[in-house]
Amino acid sequence: MVEIRAVDASCHDAVAELFTANNTVAGCGCMYFVLPNKEFSAGWHNRANRDRLLAELSERPPIALVAYSGGRAVGWCAAGPRERYARVLRSPLMKAREPAEDGAVWFLPCLFVRAGERRKGVAAELLAAAVGVAREHGATAVEGFPYVGGEKRATGEAYIGTEAMFAAAGFTLRARPSAKRVIMRVDF
């Protein structure tokens, strides 16, 4: 059993530690879908992306949820209004979206579960909690663009989830924009 919390300033130290769990999350700092490529790339090796994330933890609405086990952060789910994720909005996968919804529809672009905590349902609990937090903050829907199917993915690909994981959390198929990715959605 994990405890899920929407991030705020009180999560700073736990999130900072979580985002040193491996080189990918330390470099990304969950900024890939937020920043322009040049700025994102410049922040990869000096941890500027992670530092920017830590500076944004107290934004409202929250920008993510954190899963804790035994007082330690073990998982992360980025979540917020679709308009926050500029790279998502430019993605060919999302070209069929309704731009007028970008402020009201929340998007879940990234999930991370610490090694040793995977395959325990943490990601599923994060997805379910993200839906609840989005609803509490007035979202009209929540979307993600996971991989098709449900097979296990390499760690570097697993961060967007799978169709089966999203379906188990109550998301329904909205579109199949590519052979590898689907748009999944929960409407309120």
The H-assigned helical ranges of 29-90 are 37-42, 48-55, 86-90
What is the Cα–Cα distance from 11 to 107, expressed in whole angstroms? 21
Bridge partners of residue 80, in order along the sequence:
107
- 45-75: pLDDT as tens digits: 898 998 999 999 888 888 999 999 999 999 9
| Amino acid (one-letter) located at 54 | L
Of residues 19 and 167, the one with the higher pLDDT is 167
Pairing type for strands 105-113 and 141-144 reads: parallel
Q: Are 108 and 142 in contact (CB under 8 A)?
A: yes
pTM, full prediction = 0.92
List the strands of the sheet with 141-144, edge to edge: 3-6, 64-69, 72-81, 105-113, 141-144, 183-187, 172-175
Q: How far apart are CA 87 and CA 78, in angstroms?
A: 14
Give Rg (Cα) of the chain. 15
- Per-residue confidence (pLDDT) for residue 154, from 0 to 100: 67
Average pLDDT, the chain: 91
Band of pLDDT at residue 40, cut at 50, 70 and 90: very high
Pick from 131, 116, 118, 122: nearest CA to 1: 122
All structural domains of the chain: 3-187 (3.40.630.30)
Asked whether 94 and 85 are in contact (CB, 8 A), the reply is: no
Pick the closest to residue 109 from 178, 176, 170, 32 (CA basis).
32
pLDDT confidence of residue 158 = 74
Kindly report each contact of residues 48-56 with a partner whose C-beta sits within 8 Å and lies 24 or more positions away, as own/partner.
50/16, 50/19, 50/20, 50/25, 50/26, 53/15, 53/19, 53/29, 54/12, 54/15, 54/16, 54/19, 54/29
| pLDDT tens profile 87-114 | 999 999 999 999 999 999 999 999 999 9
150 pLDDT more than 80? no
